[in-house]
Structure 1
Amino acid sequence: MNHVLCGLAANVSLPSELVDRLIAVAVGLADAEIAAGLAHRADLSHAQAVVLASGVEESAVSLAYAGLLTAADVDPVTRPNVALALLDERAGRPEWARLLAADPVVERREKLAACSGLPLDVVETLATDSDVQVVAELALWTTPETATGLAAHPHAEVRRAVAANEATPPAVLAALLTGEGLPPAQRCLVCDREAVPFVHDPQCSRLDCDLLPDASCDGSHESTAHETRRMAIRNPFTPAEAAAGFVDHPSLLLRRALAGRPDLPSEACARLAVDANPGVRADLAENPAIGEVLIRALAADRDHEVRRSLAHNPLVPLDVLIHLAGAAGIGATLLPRIASASPEEVEKLAGSPKPAARMLVAQRRDLPPAVRDALAADPDAKVVKSIAPHPGLSEGRLRAMVDRHGVRVVAKVAANPDATPALLEDLARREPPVRKAFREIARHRHASAPALLACLADAQARPVAAGRAELPPPVIEELLSDADRRVVEAAAANPSLPLAVMSDLIPRL
């Protein structure tokens, strides 16, 4: 891979004539990496896209999805993958779909089956395809009418796909979940390939085997039937009362899928709240379907993950959340209940004697100035670290944070969108250096050349800094020969790279 040319392909300052030259290089070398960068340029013209697509097949698909190729540019016989991309975007021609429905390559028929807006006769052809994976792909994305017909398909894999399709009518989903009203499936992927009864070895050493580790069939296609039920339970359009019937099912996967449904009846919630498996209780704890009684009960759960999940429930009462904040290890996260807190609740949290409560509200980025400034002066470093990136803090307050709390808050102060160039320069020169601060400074919109030069000393910040237009051009040129390919590509993509250098870097064919 030529990392310099890959970087140049993404350089927004590359003029059109040099884009043309680079396209010629990509086509001449059949270089998919350079072509990929060119294909994502916002200024690529239709004419340039046609030339690029003509020489590098991989880029043609991207260009089709980007709307830079039209049906007139594509021959579906010689370039079926590009034709499929246009069909997927509903920009292809109906006759292409009819042609591709008979394509001998199964993967292409699968791709076609996932396209929307196909002619009815093409859908009917795909629904009777000789390869079950094509039919299953159709079942996953098709219309309610076709999904209804495929729900009774003799192959269990197709039914599994219908159960996952959110366009499938609720009554059909309920039937797939319970099996009522549907004839038994006759085949599955397991018994298609193996003599039954068969249980797939999770440590299977066969290189050509693509069965799932837990695949099994004793004639009832049990592993696929189980997955069909899981898909149906996870489908938000499956009737809640039908899904709730699995609340005591022995399958952990089914109970966990059920615990996450936001339309669970209260009786099902109560049963799952005392489930023996903590994963089920943790999934339930985050579910807004549970009421305050269950929330308070789960707040005392012995499992850490249950309590942590409960903190993410958007309806958790503030007093419960404050209790959880000190014990659940929530970290620097804006929780849903904090994001929706009223002005009065914000004031209460900010004035709480518990640092954990103040840290929670400090994660908001829309605090009133008085609350924001009070938290900026908090004696607890964790609170200050949480508030440090809040917009609107003055340079003086940001410097005061660093003076009081030192290395613990430097990186977060550097992430403040209003940090000044002078402050960022001081943070970049700080001794001992704070590596995380370099990464924040390197991407900061106010970072000056001196600050960015300091960031080049950090291995993780260096690729980011190398792409910043504020760097002096001679430094950018030096970075083109860096040992780190990420730095080379970033430097080549730097919009401040001199035009003459860009021209010299692109070979003339």
Structure 2
Amino acid sequence: MNPVLRGLAANPSMPSELIDRLIALGDRDIAEILARRADLGHAQAVALAASVEESVPWLAYEGRLTAADIDPATQPDGALDLLTEGHARSPEWARLFADDPVIEHREKLAACPGLPADVVERLAADPDVRVVAELALWTTPRTAARLASHPHAAVRRAVAANEATPPDVLAAVLTGEGLPPARRCPVCDREETPFVHDPHCPRLDCDLPPGAACDGSHESTRHDTELAALSNPATPTEAVVGFVDHPSLLLRWALAARPDLPPDVCARLAEDLNPGVRGDLAENPALDDALIRALATDRDHEVRRRLAHNPRVPLDVLTHLAGTTRIGATLLPRIASASPDEVEELAASPDPAARMLTAQRRDLAPAVRDALADDSDAKVVKSIAPHPSLTDSRLSSMLDRYGSQVAARVAANPDASPALLEAIARHEPAARKALREIARHRHASAPALLACLQDPRARPLAAAHAALPQAVIEELLTDADAEMAEAAAANPSLPPGVMSDLVSGL
């Protein structure tokens, strides 16, 4: 598709009559963009649905269509999309699709909310297990409980993933206690058992996952069921703790992320040989102080980095981690929840790592904010630079003191003035990341944006900026780079007459 038309379809200044002309093109790519326009009228949505059937899911998701706009007999996918989004709770539609010969239609129906009881019964007895499994994944507690004893293991796996499944039922599905054994699974439906699927299977029509296996006990589907139940927050704690020493890495990994773990289970997972398990555990708010301090000395960098994101990490441990671990420019949960007294203490710390962490907050008291802005450590200044309400003079002082080290972060400050952004754009040596920040900044002026056009990654951002001179925008419409042409066409400063000419000429 012509990139200029894609850009025009996204242009917020596009006149309504030109939107109509783009709808008439019947192009799928254009329709996907148009369907998400905030100013798309109801009549236009109906026209778009008629022109490009694939646009109905996007329109349904955006709430642009009603049941009166769709004929389920001729637009089944559209009708199902409306049912899925809850915009058409029509019992007649549901009953129509419950008997649809197309399996995919019944499967999609099974995921819809608010289905009539008789439709649920028909779907639960569907001859295709994929339909029943989809119902089990989304259905109500009562139906999920009933399907937990379904003879097919794939249905039980879906019940295990459904957060509406009652806790006692989830425990039974996880342990198998109190349920009759499953009789079939996706593997023995297709192959003679015992069977282990070759990870390098050459068959083009084979949809079994690598390693899928069944020796009569449906082991791979059983494993998937256990993984789903362990990942389900509704599964009772007492049912999951027994998996702490399970030989399956995936099961231990899923267990480590649960916030309901008792201390002894956390302690055993902290000794797991796999750093991925320890990393998920490190972020878990279930950890006590002693275990947090133990994990702070973990040999794996990623485990220590994840620990810094734990909302319960003590501030002294967090400060230590910041000095020895690359955490990144982010507001950590423990810093976000720090009290005013803790913030003042951290901001006055002799350790620049503590001051740097505090500088990531964007709600600092003016005195604390200004003190961090005047800090003698470039990393602290870099962290505080995007803080709103910093004065231009302070931002300029940062740039004078540290230059390219802080230029991008200063440019990211929402209150940076056009003059300051121009100064950053002219800075030598050029700060490439700063140019990208300028190109998306609401205060960027034409001179600053023209400088941004010299950077490959900043160019598309600048091309779409409303402050770019009109002549430059029009010139970029014919740029050899399709991304540039599309960005220029999406520029809200593009005159309506030029837009009309572009639509007429393409």
With the shorter chain as reference, the TM-score category is over 0.9
SS in structure 2 of the partner of residue 189 of structure 1 = coil
| RMSD of aligned Cα (Å) | 1.5
Report the residue type matching 2:11 in the other structure: N
Q: Provide the residue aligned with 2:489 in structure 1.
A: 492
CA distance in 1, matches of 2:456, 2:6: 21
Q: Provide the residue aligned with 1:81 in structure 2.
A: 77
Q: TM-score, normalised by structure 2?
A: 0.97
My pick for the range that moved more, 231-240 or 13-22, is 13-22
The answer to whether 1:176 aligns with 2:173 is yes
| Percentage of pairs with the same residue | 73
Counterpart mapping for 1:270-419 below 5 A: 270-419=267-416
Q: Provide the residue aligned with 1:482 in structure 2.
A: 479
CA distance in 1, matches of 2:278, 2:57: 45
The answer to whether 1:55 aligns with 2:51 is yes
SS in structure 1 of the partner of residue 189 of structure 2 = helix
CA distance in 1, matches of 2:319, 2:184: 53
CA distance in 2, matches of 1:307, 1:91: 46
Report the residue type matching 2:73 in the other structure: V
CA distance in 2, matches of 1:504, 1:146: 58
Q: Deviations over 1:431-487 (max 9, x none)?
A: 222111111001111111111111111111111111111112111111111122222
Counterpart mapping for 1:194-213 below 5 A: 194-213=191-210
CA distance in 1, matches of 2:465, 2:505: 28
Q: Residues 229 and 254 of structure 1 are in contact (CA less than 8 Å); yes or no, is this contact kept in structure 2?
A: yes
My pick for the range that moved more, 163-172 or 449-458, is 449-458
CA distance in 1, matches of 2:505, 2:266: 69
The answer to whether 1:10 aligns with 2:10 is yes
Q: Provide the residue aligned with 1:230 in structure 2.
A: 227
CA distance in 1, matches of 2:135, 2:480: 48
CA distance in 2, matches of 1:219, 1:313: 43
CA distance in 2, matches of 1:407, 1:288: 38
Q: Residues 21 and 508 of structure 1 are in contact (CA less than 8 Å); yes or no, is this contact kept in structure 2?
A: no
The answer to whether 1:67 aligns with 2:82 is no
Q: Deviations over 1:126-185 (max 9, x none)?
A: 112222111111111110011001101111111011000000000000001111000001
Report the residue type matching 2:84 in the other structure: D
Task: State the 1:508 CA deviation.
Answer: 8.1
Q: Provide the residue aligned with 1:43 in structure 2.
A: 39
Q: Provide the residue aligned with 1:252 in structure 2.
A: 249
Q: Residues 156 and 225 of structure 2 are in contact (CA less than 8 Å); yes or no, is this contact kept in structure 1?
A: yes
CA gap of 1:379–1:205, structure 2 versus 1, over 3 A, is farther
CA distance in 2, matches of 1:40, 1:270: 48
Q: Provide the residue aligned with 1:193 in structure 2.
A: 190
SS in structure 1 of the partner of residue 188 of structure 2 = helix
Q: Residues 281 and 306 of structure 1 are in contact (CA less than 8 Å); yes or no, is this contact kept in structure 2?
A: yes
CA distance in 1, matches of 2:285, 2:58: 40
My pick for the range that moved more, 194-203 or 179-188, is 194-203
Q: Residues 241 and 265 of structure 1 are in contact (CA less than 8 Å); yes or no, is this contact kept in structure 2?
A: no
Q: Provide the residue aligned with 1:427 in structure 2.
A: 424
2:107 to 92, 106, 110: 110
My pick for the range that moved more, 58-67 or 411-420, is 58-67
The answer to whether 1:454 aligns with 2:451 is yes
When the two structures are aligned, how many residues end up with a matched partner? 505
1:119 to 116, 120, 124: 116
The answer to whether 1:506 aligns with 2:497 is no
Q: Deviations over 1:53-94 (max 9, x none)?
A: 112111233223322222122111111010011111222222
Report the residue type matching 2:38 in the other structure: A
CA distance in 2, matches of 1:86, 1:175: 35
Task: State the 1:381 CA deviation.
Answer: 1.3
CA distance in 1, matches of 2:347, 2:64: 52
Q: Deviations over 1:250-293 (max 9, x none)?
A: 21111111111111112212222222332222221211111111
Q: Which runs of 5+ in 2 are unaligned?
A: none
Report the residue type matching 2:32 in the other structure: A
CA distance in 1, matches of 2:247, 2:469: 65
SS in structure 1 of the partner of residue 247 of structure 2 = coil
My pick for the range that moved more, 302-311 or 167-176, is 302-311
CA distance in 2, matches of 1:417, 1:498: 27
CA distance in 2, matches of 1:77, 1:497: 42
Report the residue type matching 1:66 in the other structure: E
CA distance in 2, matches of 1:508, 1:327: 60
Report the residue type matching 2:15 in the other structure: P
1:240 to 237, 240, 246: 237
CA distance in 2, matches of 1:389, 1:460: 21
Q: Deviations over 1:320-346 (max 9, x none)?
A: 111111122212121111111111111
Task: State the 1:404 CA deviation.
Answer: 1.3
CA distance in 1, matches of 2:437, 2:485: 20
Q: Provide the residue aligned with 1:91 in structure 2.
A: 87
Q: Which runs of 5+ in 1 are unaligned?
A: none
Q: Residues 169 and 237 of structure 1 are in contact (CA less than 8 Å); yes or no, is this contact kept in structure 2?
A: yes
Q: Provide the residue aligned with 1:32 in structure 2.
A: 28
Q: Residues 86 and 113 of structure 2 are in contact (CA less than 8 Å); yes or no, is this contact kept in structure 1?
A: yes
SS in structure 2 of the partner of residue 245 of structure 1 = helix
CA distance in 2, matches of 1:304, 1:23: 52
CA distance in 1, matches of 2:276, 2:56: 45
CA distance in 1, matches of 2:492, 2:328: 37
2:214 to 214, 217, 232: 217
Task: State the 1:218 CA deviation.
Answer: 1.0
My pick for the range that moved more, 57-66 or 241-250, is 57-66
SS in structure 2 of the partner of residue 174 of structure 1 = helix
CA distance in 1, matches of 2:255, 2:22: 54
CA distance in 1, matches of 2:104, 2:29: 24
SS in structure 2 of the partner of residue 357 of structure 1 = helix
Report the residue type matching 1:129 in the other structure: D
